């Protein structure tokens, strides 16, 4: 019976479509797409320009204007009649692959916005309330207000266990103040997803990103297996070092003894001060020279960018594709440090990807294959700021200095990558379980996962909703797995460039400096096609195999 029922839509489609000639359907698809782009392209460009003004000036009025334009865009994608048309056309299929691909893109964007108006309003209001409460919250320690930078300073320098614990607990307070509204939001999101026929919001979001929970489970299970032992060995060594520095035993270490509130970054015990090599250097000029050398010149991008600190300006960094026609910009607040070198290389990675989408592709396909594929390119270039061979060539380090950087950097990178896998495992499994059943004992679940994957002991006494102090639960729901996939793809592309484009046996001492083949490979295989193929197909075409953890494991774990 169930089988018969599931055949129904297909049969209905057959009946509806038998009559219509392929040509007229092709024309209809082309018309729907043309009408849609005619509406959305100017709106999207305006929204992007207004956002740029908002971020570079901090003017509240520009942020409001941007929110209004965003709402207009969302409304375009929420019309049930338009969605029904796109859905019907997609079900019947169209032979032209480029049109079919555009129809897919439309379908998934419409899908996520098909929420009945009252429920949508409730979701948007709750979401705004939670996000505002999150950003306006000020933590306190012994009654006085502390910022997150104060917390980081204490967690990286303070030796007194009591002070560390107080700072760590302060960083978690915000979770408890927003958890009730946040769980209300989770239930409403699930309600909307169920109305569209999904188990829950997590399943729907993953599917709308053209991914599947089953495939993600396979990737994360594999990563768990591959990192378990190397992580245990590194963690043991780290615990001994940390415990010794605090004058306690490794068994007495608590979550606040690590240098990051979530233990997602390596404690500073193995750090070499790389800033000394970037002091007095012009990171913008270094980037310009490097990207030009690999055949991806960025003069035009830099000319439109806003790169230095100013009152009222957004304090972090991002890359911004304004019109999918070459107006790409970067916002940054550059300083002569290793972190800013990494950040600029990273954002320019996003920027060169956007700049080189093939202009003959239709507007809907002139974007990255997936959010994680552009993240992969950004990570690919960002990793260079700590690469000893790259630093030697770009900064003119002596052989002796290079050897020192290499030794520390490789060890640090290995630890950082393995640690990130363990942390991403916690985030992925927790968020999946959170949306599957928001009524379970989530605080206990969080610590079960932290103990299992990160080997951090839960604090004594009742556990609270400190987990919700992680920004991503509120700002980018069901997205975290993409950071992990980006790391995997960055390694797979690196391996492919080494072996196929450069025909080398290994990456020993490889810096990519001045090698135009790197830019050519990326332009032809990754940037140019944009979203012409699904991410999966793009990766197979570019690297000869589907996305797998193999190269990442080879590069960092073995």
Binding site residues, Zn ion, CB under 5 A: 378
Q: Considering the complex, state which of residue 204 and residue 378 has its C-beta at the smaller distance from Zn ion.
A: 378
What is the distance between the alpha carbons of residues 116 and 114, in angstroms, rounded to a whole number?
7
Q: Considering the complex, state which of residue 348 and residue 378 has its C-beta at the smaller distance from Zn ion.
A: 378
Q: Considering the complex, state which of residue 141 and residue 371 has its C-beta at the smaller distance from Zn ion.
A: 371
Q: Provide, rounded to whole angstroms, the least separation between the CB of residue 378 and Zn ion.
A: 4
Q: Considering the complex, state which of residue 380 and residue 428 has its C-beta at the smaller distance from Zn ion.
A: 380
Q: Considering the complex, state which of residue 378 and residue 394 has its C-beta at the smaller distance from Zn ion.
A: 378
Q: Provide, rounded to whole angstroms, the least separation between the CB of residue 96 and Zn ion.
A: 33
Q: Considering the complex, state which of residue 50 and residue 378 has its C-beta at the smaller distance from Zn ion.
A: 378
Residues 6 or more apart in contact with residue 245 via CB below 8 angstroms? 159, 269
Q: Considering the complex, state which of residue 343 and residue 525 has its C-beta at the smaller distance from Zn ion.
A: 343
Q: Provide, rounded to whole angstroms, the least separation between the CB of residue 519 and Zn ion.
A: 19
Q: Provide, rounded to whole angstroms, the least separation between the CB of residue 393 and Zn ion.
A: 24
Q: Provide, rounded to whole angstroms, the least separation between the CB of residue 370 and Zn ion.
A: 13
Q: Provide, rounded to whole angstroms, the least separation between the CB of residue 485 and Zn ion.
A: 13
Q: Provide, rounded to whole angstroms, the least separation between the CB of residue 487 and Zn ion.
A: 12
Q: Considering the complex, state which of residue 338 and residue 342 has its C-beta at the smaller distance from Zn ion.
A: 342
Q: Provide, rounded to whole angstroms, the least separation between the CB of residue 306 and Zn ion.
A: 17
Q: Provide, rounded to whole angstroms, the least separation between the CB of residue 298 and Zn ion.
A: 16
Instruction: Annotate 147-203 with DSSP letters as a single string.
Output: -HHHHHHHHHH---HHHHHHHHHHHHHHHHHHHHHHHHHHHHHHHHHHHTT-S-HHH
Name the strand (E) or helix (H) holding 49. helix 22-57
Task: Identify the burial level of 38 via C-beta atoms within 10 angstroms of its C-beta, where 0-12 means exposed, 13-18 middle and 19 or more buried.
Answer: exposed
Q: Provide, rounded to whole angstroms, the least separation between the CB of residue 494 and Zn ion.
A: 17
Q: What share of the chain is helix, strand, coil (3-state, %, to 5)?
A: 70, 5, 25
Q: Considering the complex, state which of residue 208 and residue 378 has its C-beta at the smaller distance from Zn ion.
A: 378
Residues 6 or more apart in contact with residue 364 via CB below 8 angstroms? 33, 37, 102, 105, 106, 531
- Hey, how many other C-beta atoms are within 10 angstroms of the C-beta on 456? 20
Paired tokens of 103: 């129809």
Phi and psi at residue 438, in whole multiples of 5°?
A: -70, -10
Q: Considering the complex, state which of residue 185 and residue 547 has its C-beta at the smaller distance from Zn ion.
A: 547
Compute the Cα dihedral for 182, 183, 188, 189 and give only its sign: positive
Residues 6 or more apart in contact with residue 537 via CB below 8 angstroms? none
Alpha helices of 383-515 — where are they, by DSSP H?
Answer: 388-395, 399-436, 442-454, 471-475, 481-496
Q: Considering the complex, state which of residue 378 and residue 547 has its C-beta at the smaller distance from Zn ion.
A: 378
What is the distance between the alpha carbons of residues 311 and 529, in angstroms, rounded to a whole number?
39
Q: What is the CA radius of gyration of the chain?
A: 25
Helical pair 399-436 and 213-246, crossing angle rounded to 10 deg: 120
Compute the Cα dihedral for 66, 69, 74, 75 and give only its sign: positive
Residues 6 or more apart in contact with residue 274 via CB below 8 angstroms? 338, 385, 386, 405, 409
User: Do 415 and 386 meet the contact criterion of CB atoms below 8 Å apart?
Assistant: no
Paired tokens of 511: 């810096």
What is the distance between the alpha carbons of residues 164 and 96, in angstroms, rounded to a whole number?
61
Q: Provide, rounded to whole angstroms, the least separation between the CB of residue 375 and Zn ion.
A: 5
Q: Considering the complex, state which of residue 33 and residue 378 has its C-beta at the smaller distance from Zn ion.
A: 378
Q: Which residue, judged by CB position, is nearest to Zn ion in the bound state? A: 378
Residues 6 or more apart in contact with residue 354 via CB below 8 angstroms? 319, 321, 324, 328, 367, 368, 374
Q: Provide, rounded to whole angstroms, the least separation between the CB of residue 346 and Zn ion.
A: 6
Q: Provide, rounded to whole angstroms, the least separation between the CB of residue 350 and Zn ion.
A: 6
Compute the Cα dihedral for 329, 332, 335, 338 and give only its sign: negative
Name the residue among 63, 40, 190, 198 with its Cα closest to residue 131.
63
Q: Provide, rounded to whole angstroms, the least separation between the CB of residue 386 and Zn ion.
A: 17
Q: Considering the complex, state which of residue 447 and residue 479 has its C-beta at the smaller distance from Zn ion.
A: 479
Name the strand (E) or helix (H) holding 369. none
Q: Considering the complex, state which of residue 193 and residue 344 has its C-beta at the smaller distance from Zn ion.
A: 344
């Amino acid at each position: 019976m169930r089988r018969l029922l599931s055949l129904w839509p297909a049969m209905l489609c057959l009946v509806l479509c038998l009559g219509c000639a392929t040509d007229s359907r092709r024309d209809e698809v082309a018309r729907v797409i043309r009408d849609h782009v005619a509406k959305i392209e100017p709106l999207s460009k305006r929204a992007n320009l207004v956002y740029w003004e908002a971020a570079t000036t901090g003017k509240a009025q520009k942020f409001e204007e941007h929110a209004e334009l965003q709402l207009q865009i969302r409304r375009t994608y929420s019309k049930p009649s338009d969605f029904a048309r796109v859905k019907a056309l997609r079900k019947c299929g169209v032979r032209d692959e480029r049109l079919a691909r555009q129809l897919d893109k439309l379908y998934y964007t419409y899908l996520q916005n098909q929420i009945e108006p009252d429920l949508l309003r409730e979701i948007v209001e709750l979401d705004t309330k939670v996000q505002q409460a999150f950003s306006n919250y000020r933590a306190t320690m012994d009654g006085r207000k502390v910022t997150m930078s104060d917390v980081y300073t204490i967690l990286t320098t303070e030796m007194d266990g009591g002070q560390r614990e107080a700072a760590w607990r302060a960083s978690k307070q915000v979770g408890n103040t927003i958890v009730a509204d946040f769980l209300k939001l989770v239930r409403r999101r699930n309600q909307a997803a169920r109305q569209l026929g999904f188990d829950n919001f997590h399943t729907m979001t993953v599917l709308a990103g053209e991914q599947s929970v089953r495939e993600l489970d396979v990737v994360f299970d594999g990563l768990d297996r591959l990192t378990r032992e190397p992580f245990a060995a590194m963690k043991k060594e780290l615990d001994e070092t940390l415990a010794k520095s605090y004058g306690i035993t490794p068994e007495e270490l608590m979550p606040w003894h690590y240098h990051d509130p979530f233990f997602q970054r390596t404690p500073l015990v193995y750090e070499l001060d790389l800033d000394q090599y970037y002091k007095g250097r012009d990171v913008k000029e270094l980037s310009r020279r490097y990207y030009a050398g690999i055949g991806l010149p960025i003069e035009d991008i830099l000319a439109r960018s806003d790169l230095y600190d100013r009152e009222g300006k957004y304090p972090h960094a991002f890359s911004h594709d304004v019109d999918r026609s070459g107006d790409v910009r970067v916002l940054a607040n550059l300083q002569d440090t290793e972190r800013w070198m990494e950040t600029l290389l990273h954002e320019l990675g996003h920027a060169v990807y956007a700049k080189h989408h093939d202009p003959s592709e239709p507007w809907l396909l002139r974007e990255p294959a997936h959010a994680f594929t552009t993240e992969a390119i950004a990570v690919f270039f960002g990793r260079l700021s700590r690469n000893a061979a790259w630093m030697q060539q770009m900064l003119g380090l002596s052989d002796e200095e290079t050897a020192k950087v290499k030794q520390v950097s490789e060890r640090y990178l290995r630890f950082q990558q393995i640690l990130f896998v363990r942390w991403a495992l916690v985030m992925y499994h927790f968020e999946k379980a959170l949306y599957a059943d928001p009524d379970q004992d989530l605080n206990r679940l969080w610590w079960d996962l932290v103990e299992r994957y990160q080997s951090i002991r839960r604090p004594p006494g009742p556990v609270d909703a400190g987990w919700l102090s992680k920004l991503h639960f509120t700002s980018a729901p069901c997205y975290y797995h993409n950071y992990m996939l980006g790391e995997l793809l960055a390694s797979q592309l690196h391996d492919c460039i080494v072996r196929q484009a450069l025909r080398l046996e290994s990456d020993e001492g490889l810096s990519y400096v001045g090698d135009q083949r790197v830019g050519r490979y990326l332009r032809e295989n990754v940037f140019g096609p944009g979203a012409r193929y699904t991410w999966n197909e793009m990766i197979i075409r570019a690297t000869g195999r589907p996305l797998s953890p193999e190269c990442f494991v080879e590069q960092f774990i073995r």
